[in-house]
Amino acid sequence: MQLQSLPVLDFSRLNAGEQEAAAFREELREVLHEVGFLYLTGHGIEQELTESILDLSRRFFELSEDQKLAIENVNSPQFRGYTRMGGELTDGKTDFREQIDIGVERSAVPADPDTANYWRLEGPNLWVQELPEMQAVVGEWTQRLSEISMTLLRAIAESLGAEPDAFDAAFGEKAFPLLKIVRYPGESNPEPKQGVGQHRDGGVITLLLVEPEKGGLQVEYKGQWIDAPQVPGAFVVNIGEMLELATNGYLKATLHRVISPLKGTDRISLPFFYNPALDSTMPQLAVAPEFQEKARGLSVDPLNNPILETYGDNALRYRLRAHPNVVEAQHPDLLAG
């Protein structure tokens, strides 16, 4: 039977008594095993905060080109800041979008020959002077979505027969979440154009918010593409390759893509990626035998695109591929010889 739309799960069931929480965990496990994507309602994020971050996103993209380029990512060793239209690649092809990358606000790690290269990703963000309130709103958004993500990870671990805190050590105070604030301009006319090419997320868990009544996201399921438009009051949730690695493929990191909107329209999208500390390795979960039997192994090409055990190695590799202009400007020593 072909799936017509993504499953919907109510996050608030985790606080509705143990029987209801256990049923939620079971459904969550099955959906992430079979599909790898879902809609999450009942998450408790206030509409006021959602409207505030969407409004700030709109206002940023309405700034002049010079104002946006003042925080262009080529000025950031951490690959933070603004990426101009066509400035990112997925699977070697140009994505038609502009965006801001915002990570955890920390000090840069001093360069040292004995320091792993992935520590170059740790450091400060770039902020536009014209929107001084943006940092506080993004900070609250990041904190709230981090809490939801960690609660989901604990539910996932418990649903698989592992200890609920199995992932805690990999995250802790050095977790490495990343928020992208993205604008897709209308490029389809009506032939579909690539907003973002097909890919699997490389981290652990993703929470996505899109402007109301805007579509474009498509999820692969059994060889077919399923449309996943924004559902009012819900996040789209999916898992990345590091969680697939932790469960030997029992949980599914699913291919997805974004189709550019029609000409004359656009789309604001806020994907939030909850990832472990750069120097952490994902634990191999002590998955219960009945689930181990259904583990499918990893879905990636182990020779050409292996999942590396240390999260920072994966994160840096993705950045090097997606933003060669930043590598040339900030990390020429990492250019392939």
Residue of 286 and 281 predicted with greater confidence: 281
**How does pLDDT run across 64-106, given as a tens digit for each residue?**
999 999 999 999 999 999 999 888 878 778 889 999 999 999 9
The average pLDDT across 176-199 equals 92
Domain contains 190 = yes
- What pLDDT does 6 receive? 94
> Is it the case that residue 308 has pLDDT exceeding 80?
no
Whether residue 215 has pLDDT greater than 50: yes
Question: What residues make up the domain containing 36?
Answer: 8-334
> By C-alpha distance, which of 309, 7, 299, 14 is closest to 153?
14
Task: Indicate whether 3 belongs to any domain.
Answer: no
What is d(CA 85, CA 185) in angstroms, rounded to the nearest whole number?
9
Question: What average pLDDT score do residues 28-38 get?
Answer: 96
**pLDDT confidence bin for 312, thresholds 50/70/90:** very high
Domain count, the chain: 1
The span from the CA of 97 to the CA of 14, in Å, is 36
| 41 has pLDDT over 60 | yes
Residue range 113-135: average pLDDT? Answer: 96
CA atoms within 13 A on the CB side of 55: 9
Bridge partners for 188 per DSSP: 262
Angle, helices 134-159 vs 18-34, to 10°: value is 90
Residue 7 pLDDT greater than 80, yes or no: yes
For residue 85, is it within any domain?
A: yes
Does the pLDDT of residue 287 top 70, yes or no? Answer: yes
pLDDT at residue 163, as a whole number = 93
pLDDT band at 1 (very low <50, low <70, confident <90, very high): very low
Q: Residue 150 pLDDT > 90, yes or no?
A: yes
Is residue 317 within a helix (H) or strand (E), and if so which, with residue range?
helix 311-322
Residue range 283-294: mean pLDDT, rounded = 79
Output the pTM of the full model.
0.94
- Average pLDDT value over all residues in the chain: 91
Q: How confident is the model at residue 337 (pLDDT cuts 50, 70, 90)?
A: very low
* H helix or E strand, kind and range, residue 9: strand 8-10
Please tell me the distance from the alpha carbon of residue 296 to that of residue 298, in angstroms, as a whole number. 7
User: At 86, which CATH number?
Assistant: 2.60.120.330
Mean pLDDT of the 57-61 span: 98
Q: Is 28 domain-assigned?
A: yes
Residue 2 lies in a domain: no
